[in-house]
Amino acid sequence: MSRALRFGISTCPNDTFAFHALLTGAVRCEGFDVEFVLADVEELNERLASGELQLSKGSFALAIERSADLCVLASGAALGFGVGPVLLARESARPLDADSRVLAPGAHTTANLLFRLLHPGAPLPEQCVFSRIMPALANGAADYGVCIHEGRFTYAEHGLRLVEDLGASWEARTRSPLPLGGIFAHRRLGSEVLCAVSDAVGRSIDWARAHPDGALETMREHAQEQRDDVLWKHVELYVNDWTRELGDVGRAAIAALEREARAAGLLSAAAPGLEVVGG
């Protein structure tokens, strides 16, 4: 008898590319009846934290905070160099100061944590769905925005300017790739289940790499930006060898994020290191 699992993934192109084979049945997680839930990453963070989802794509910022309950699968992560969120503003925006209105894509996102680490004197960001940030900047409703996903490629089309590549600032500070998101699971599922799911995720990534055009329809169905060139740029940037297997570099990157967050007082000193399962 198959075991039921509720599994969340984001609607961004790197996830719909990597999970296309599992979503369509081209690859199966044998022994499990997997129900996939697609949503914005901050909604996934909240549903994972509440226990509604047993496994989910989510933010490393949430996972390191809840590492006593969550672990990360070795396959399916988004991390690397040149992949970080960007701080954007209108051309006429005032200098960033204590009175600036800053938007971020969710309190549990790595983007929000990174802004707070790099700009400790700035006002706490207000949180909203990532797709609303660039329009709010363009119409003057906010001064600065921490933008993720396709925003890295399309901000100029919205009349916005790049204030800072937060990922590049992280890399200069730590000499480490930035761990953005991963596939997180409740530890109570047990290592046998988690290793089986991690293996299935890895096989789905392998399938997508071998049949890239096969995933395009799924990517188009869920993306905010419909231009194919932008979708493929997203995949090229966020799906890499560390997505297939975190490896030693990925594990070191997670440790660096934990270390910096603890030093800034944004992570409890008592939180255990995030465990990697599978691989």
pLDDT in tens, 211-237: 999 999 899 998 876 688 889 988 998
pLDDT at 94: 87
In angstroms, the CA 267 to CA 262 distance is 5
Q: Catalytic residue at 149?
A: yes
Most confident of 1-15, 114-128, 142-156: 114-128
119-134: per-residue pLDDT in tens?
999 999 999 998 899 9
158-192: per-residue pLDDT in tens?
999 999 999 999 999 999 999 999 999 999 999 99
Q: Which of 119, 149, 186, 234 is catalytic?
A: 149
Output 23 or 153, whichever has higher pLDDT: 23
In single-letter form, the type of residue at position 223 comes to A
CA distances 133 to 58, 59, 126, Å, are: 19, 18, 10
Which domains, and CATH codes, for the chain? 3-80+178-277 (3.40.190.10), 86-174 (3.40.190.10)
The token pair that represents 217 in the structure block: 């329809």
Tell me which residue has tokens 């400790």: 120
Least confident range of 149-153, 194-198, 232-236: 149-153
Percent of the chain surpassing pLDDT 70: 99
pLDDT at 191: 94
User: Which of 60, 118, 86, 65 lies closest to 246 in space, CA to CA?
Assistant: 60
Which distant-in-sequence residues (6+ apart) come within 8 Å of 252 by Cβ? Answer: 176
pLDDT at 225: 67
pLDDT at 227: 85
pLDDT at 92: 87
82-101: per-residue pLDDT in tens?
889 999 999 888 899 999 99
Residue 71, strand partner residues: 185
Q: Which pTM value belongs to this model?
A: 0.93
CA distances 34 to 2, 146, 258, 277, Å, are: 9, 33, 31, 19
Tell me which residue has tokens 């119409």: 139
Least confident range of 62-71, 199-208, 223-232: 223-232
Q: Concatenate the DSSP letters of all residues of 24-40 into one string.
A: HTSS--TTEEEEEEEE-
| Distance in Å from the first CA to the final CA of the chain | 26
Length of the chain equals: 279
DSSP label at 156? G
